[in-house]
Structure 1
Amino acid sequence: MLKNLIHFVLLILIIFTVAITTSAQFNTGRNVEKLANFNPNSAPYSDVYVSDGRAYIGGYDDGKVHIIDVRDDQDIKFLGTYQASIPRAGILDLQARGDFLFCALSEVGFTIVDVSNPASPKEIAIYKENLPEGVHDLFVKDNFIYLCDNDFRNSKLHIVNISDLRRPKFVTTLKSNGGTHDLTVIGNIAYIANLSGGFRIADFTNPAKPIVLADHNYAGSFTHNIWPSQDGKVVFTTDETCGTGHLRAFDISNLKNIHEIGAYKVNDASDSIIHNVMVVGDYAYMSYYKRGLRIVDIADPKNMKEVGNFETWDGKSVFSSRCFEGAWGVYAETNGRVYVSDISTGIWVFNFLLATDASPTGQILFPKGAETFGQGEKIQIEWAANDDREVTNQQLELSVDGGNTYSPIASNLAGAQRGFAFTLPNVNTDKAKLRLIVEDGKNPAVKIENSGLFQIVADAPPTIKVLTPNGGETFLPNDMVVLGWRSSDDRRLVSQVVELSLDNGVNYKSLAELNGEVQQLAIKLPETNSNQALVRVTVNDGVNRVVSDSSDQAFRITDDRSPVVKILSPNGGEQFIAGQQIQVTWQSTDDKGLRNQAIEFSANSAASFTELVKVGGNVQTFTLNVPFVLSRVCRFRITVDDGTNTVVSSTSADDFGIFEFIPKVNRLSLKSDKSDRLVINLDPSSIHNHNEKINPLHEGGETVEGFKIEVLIDTKFVSYTKEPKLNA
């Protein structure tokens, strides 16, 4: 027979599972602060128990209990080790009361140890009666110890009197269906986990004659461990089955109608299993083997949610099991200290950050007191609310008699809400007061009043009069103009909206939304001509009274002065080579500035123009390449725009020519082969381009006029597009 190295469930599951060692996210957690980890280097370890500043961690198969001083989180000290006198005994469970330690031993029974001197523990009693397979779990309550024997086929609950610690005395046994495995005793009520038999609730007012109050089983049960809620209306159980076991919540408020109301299971639990649960306050603390420490908020057992975790397993396999590695035992205190025993990594000490629960706090930020509001005025109530866990519910109330009585104005506000729009009642009072009620779901509701009283009074409508512009004025587009008005209210103005219309009030465009104190606004008028401009100002006193006023008559936005432009060059008579780079210059002005200017080109003496380039309003010279057009009747035009639909142009005063090249005649002879044709025989070596003009032609001191001049170069006639005169 195996040594009970692994209890009955572990034996069965090891047979049918493949040993897989995986690496957990070691030393990671949420809402759990690691304070210390101590490994006595004698793994595997079993359960943990804490009493009077000492932690006790059992050795699973060596009969040892290591005693550790945990009073100082920053200085955990090893105090000593208890070694059971029974060879090969494993410590499966343990509890301490004062200076005495009670240990459940596999294959034997239990021992009582004097640990008043932890450096030298003394075993003072050993109990074996009717426990041939030993003890799996135990619970000490007053003068009795309750033992779950380790014979899973015929397990019973044994009750033993320990009023004389050196001579434990058998009292009775209680048989149950499925096999008694673990129990928790609160007051006189025992909650017993019966593996495949579910769980039992029994009254041990008289331990010699226990009364069974209820038995409950459920589908898939393998109830390893059980713990009741603080109010005793719910029990929480753990099913120690690999991959499927998890935490369940059962309503036991009516023992004749016990039923499951909630469940919790870790994500991706295929290679893990829940072991033990301990309930402290509104939290269930679980040792979840490979998934380490898990903490669940059970305030609403129908909707349990995980709020803390820390994985203690280092990934090293001790039992060569798919599921049974990692956190074995858990012990939690009301101050948030949590102790976990890990099979391979020893004892861990944690601080659960959400365990301590303070009452919520809050403050009304507006109105704070001394304000005056109008009847029917809509105000935005603002407040702050905080809690160390979370605010779950809020309520607002109003008093009109200085806080003697309150009426609710908003209930069941969300915990995160911090503002509420409220329309004040039609009452006159100088004793108005607000109260905020904040709840955190744990502590009594906290009621918070604002620090002072405020007034609610009858309210007259506001007044508004637009002063400037008020009609008849003329402005230029883009002018900076100061708008002015006079507005007032018997209490205060909440807001003012300034608008502009360009169509005599048919449509308005918002210019600004201002507070109630401003009475003028500088604006830049649009780049638009209008003879029907109006300004409107709308004021609001916050009591649903909105009043407007606009300019008495329309004013004008127009630009009557046209821009001026004059082209300077080319301005006629010039000759350029196609593609030649030249500079176009001009003068242009406008009283409000030019928006853009265009340079245009004509090859037909200004009959039509093509835009070459558009430049900014400040440019007055531009370098460009002459178009590749051969014409003797070319002109440039500059067209300017002041942005108000006023466009003005200036054109070259006369034509200029664009040629393929310009020869320079150094020496020539004139011949006429026809009466209307003059031929110039020209040596090609005498041709010069680059913007050189034709020299006057002379022959015999006479002037030759009226002929179209053609230059014969390499048998090709090139005609000039303008007829020059031949001067003597």
Structure 2
Amino acid sequence: ITDPANPYETGFIPGASSTWRDIKTYLTYAYVTNESSGGIEIIDLTDPENPGDLANYTGITRAHNLFIDESTGLLYTAGSNLNAGGTRILDLTNPTNPVEIASWELAYFHDVMVQNGRLYGSGINNATLYVLDVSNPTGGIATLATKSGYPNAFTHNAWVTPDDAYVMTTDETTGAACRMWDLSNLSNLVEVDNYLPNAATIPHNTHIDGDIAVISHYTLGVKIVDVSTPNNLQEVGYYDTWPSDDGGGFNGCWGAFPFFGTTPGLIVASDQSTGLYVLEYKGVLGTVSGTVTEAGNPGVLIAGADVEVVETGVSTTTDGAGDYTVQDVAGAVNLQVSAFAYQTATVPVNIAAGSTSSLDVQLTPVAGSSVAGTVADANTSAALDGATVEVVSTPLTQTTAGGGAYSLASVPAGSYTFRAKVFGYNALEKTVAVPAGGSLTGDFDLNPTTVVADDYESGPGTWTVTG
């Protein structure tokens, strides 16, 4: 996904048959678990175009999930085949030869996440969130907090905010909310808000990246929630990977990964049935709208003007009444407005999140000249009414009438190709340098062309049938 718009597969590593795999990366290696057999598969990604399958870690047979704390180089398993299926902690000092240094086996973990010396374990079997002290795992692991007994508890996944102040949980059951818990008092975790987009659906996993939570929400697809104010969670975006059904069940988005440091806003989401999605979250949107008119003549509405947000390239075109509406990421931007025969204007505007800003724009006409003339038969000088005279690559065009005459009131200064055409005659083009001010005369004498008439119904006549 170096080019997010054109992802492609660089390699395929076969593995044991399993309904589930989890993959995490560390340095130039990938570590793969499954719920079948074979332990932890280690893949060398030094050359991503040619990944190499290395010897597996076989200290466990299987695991549901794993997490790698990149700051310490420690890998934490979740739901392995050993003992209760809690967590096994592996040292990745030698990435190709992990070494177990500690374990915690007081409950089964379906998922784990570690940040700044704390492990957040999702005990799905006993519907409990665990907070463990793993700051010195070889010296012992202490339980700092637990939370259970809340509505729809079936603790599947948990992710902590960057400041370690709050943790969001998901419960893989119908009607469960994504809950935000205050960690300031570990002896009493308090729910400060929750996110429930549809009571008939099931959340799967949440990952918090900065101020947003990216949630894989089965039939609802990917949900993006603003967590900057933890006691006021707000949905700010979504992408439905399973649009055919927003009911309950386990169809739809299985996972959504937002951690691409060099490409902020990039999200990769997997849907069990519809495939892999590469998405971009641009931020909270706002709207700016207005009318484009001629400077000094507000009654002249400019249709077909191009309106573009300079910073993002988001653009639109004014309608017949000169009106436009642009929706883009909130913030201070510059709006560039351009139209034929007018000077381009660049105007600053602040796009407010979740609301509409108003900005009318006036464009100054470009100085030009009038161009007039006639279109006639080159052989007989007879006037040709109904001929089209156009200025190529501009919206200027007129049809001759009354002695083959045409008149363009204002053509902006510049060099143009004028073209005259009418049925039965060869088109004629002329290059004309239009000055800034004054008037020009441009006559066109068109040469007749051969016109063949045939009813074709009684036979091909003079036509030749090919193919």
TM range (shorter): 0.5 to 0.7
Deviation at 1:144, TM superposition (A): 1.3
Which one of 212, 225, 232 corresponds to residue 205 of structure 2? 225
CA contact (8 A) 1:182 1:193 kept: yes
Q: Map 1:310-325 to 2 at 5 A.
A: none
Q: Establish whether residue 237 from structure 1 lines up as the match of residue 210 from structure 2.
A: no
Q: 1:422-468: per-residue Cα shift (whole Å, max 9, x none)?
A: 66xxxxxxxxx8544699x9xxxxxxxxxxxx9988x9x989999xx
Query: 2:92 is matched with which residue?
Result: 115
Letter matched to residue 180 of structure 1: T
How far apart in 2 are the matches of 1:414 and 1:95? 39
SS at match of 1:37: coil
Q: Map 1:218-297 to 2 at 5 A.
A: 219-228=199-208, 230-232=210-212, 235-240=213-218, 244=219, 246-250=221-225, 258=233, 263=238, 264-268=240-244, 272-280=251-259, 281-297=264-280
CA contact (8 A) 1:56 1:66 kept: yes
CA contact (8 A) 2:336 2:344 kept: no
Q: Establish whether residue 93 from structure 1 lines up as the match of residue 73 from structure 2.
A: no
Q: Map 1:679-698 to 2 at 5 A.
A: none
Deviation at 1:157, TM superposition (A): 1.2
SS at match of 1:166: helix
From the superposition, tell whether residues 198 and 412 of structure 1 become closer, same or farther in structure 2 (CA, over 3 Å): closer
Letter matched to residue 99 of structure 1: G
Greater gyration radius: 1
Moved more, 281-290 or 249-258: 249-258
CA contact (8 A) 1:191 1:201 kept: yes
From the superposition, tell whether residues 297 and 482 of structure 1 become closer, same or farther in structure 2 (CA, over 3 Å): same
Query: 2:339 is matched with which residue?
Result: 420
Query: 2:134 is matched with which residue?
Result: 162
Deviation at 1:259, TM superposition (A): 6.1
CA contact (8 A) 1:46 1:92 kept: yes
Deviation at 1:228, TM superposition (A): 4.0
SS at match of 1:34: coil
How far apart in 2 are the matches of 1:94 and 1:175? 21
CA contact (8 A) 1:496 1:513 kept: no
Deviation at 1:148, TM superposition (A): 0.8
CA contact (8 A) 1:143 1:161 kept: yes
How far apart in 2 are the matches of 1:259 and 1:162? 32
How far apart in 2 are the matches of 1:291 and 1:510? 62
Letter matched to residue 142 of structure 1: N
Deviation at 1:31, TM superposition (A): 3.0
Q: Establish whether residue 127 from structure 1 lines up as the match of residue 86 from structure 2.
A: no
How far apart in 1 are the matches of 2:398 and 2:131? 85
Count of matched residue pairs: 357
From the superposition, tell whether residues 211 and 268 of structure 1 become closer, same or farther in structure 2 (CA, over 3 Å): closer
Query: 2:40 is matched with which residue?
Result: 65
CA contact (8 A) 1:156 1:180 kept: yes
Q: Map 1:51-450 to 2 at 5 A.
A: 51-62=26-37, 64-85=39-60, 89-97=62-70, 98-106=72-80, 107-128=84-105, 130-131=106-107, 134-151=108-125, 154-176=126-148, 177=150, 178-187=153-162, 188=164, 189-196=166-173, 197-204=176-183, 210-217=189-196, 219-228=199-208, 230-232=210-212, 235-240=213-218, 244=219, 246-250=221-225, 258=233, 263=238, 264-268=240-244, 272-280=251-259, 281-299=264-282, 390-392=313-315, 419-421=338-340, 435-436=345-346
CA contact (8 A) 2:337 2:346 kept: no
How far apart in 1 are the matches of 2:40 and 2:140? 21
How far apart in 2 are the matches of 1:160 and 1:413? 48
From the superposition, tell whether residues 205 and 287 of structure 1 become closer, same or farther in structure 2 (CA, over 3 Å): farther
CA contact (8 A) 2:257 2:268 kept: yes
CA contact (8 A) 2:23 2:31 kept: yes
RMSD across aligned C-alpha pairs, in angstroms? 5.4
Letter matched to residue 124 of structure 1: I
Q: Establish whether residue 510 from structure 1 lines up as the match of residue 393 from structure 2.
A: no
Deviation at 1:248, TM superposition (A): 3.7
Q: Establish whether residue 46 from structure 1 lines up as the match of residue 21 from structure 2.
A: yes
Q: 1:61-102: per-residue Cα shift (whole Å, max 9, x none)?
A: 2261112222322232234321234xx543433324253211
Deviation at 1:219, TM superposition (A): 1.1
CA contact (8 A) 2:341 2:366 kept: no
Deviation at 1:143, TM superposition (A): 0.9
Letter matched to residue 146 of structure 1: Y
How far apart in 1 are the matches of 2:78 and 2:207? 19
How far apart in 2 are the matches of 1:172 and 1:124? 20
Letter matched to residue 214 of structure 1: D
Letter matched to residue 65 of structure 1: I
From the superposition, tell whether residues 479 and 251 of structure 1 become closer, same or farther in structure 2 (CA, over 3 Å): closer
Query: 1:36 is matched with which residue?
Result: 10
Letter matched to residue 299 of structure 1: K
Moved more, 179-188 or 285-294: 285-294
Deviation at 1:194, TM superposition (A): 2.4
Deviation at 1:119, TM superposition (A): 3.3
How far apart in 1 are the matches of 2:87 and 2:283? 38
How far apart in 2 are the matches of 1:162 and 1:204? 16
Q: 1:607-633: per-residue Cα shift (whole Å, max 9, x none)?
A: xxxxxxxxxxxxxxxxxxxxxxxxxxx
TM-score normalised by length of structure 1? 0.40
CA contact (8 A) 2:373 2:406 kept: no
Q: Percent identity?
A: 16
Higher relative contact order (CA 8 A, sep 6+): 1
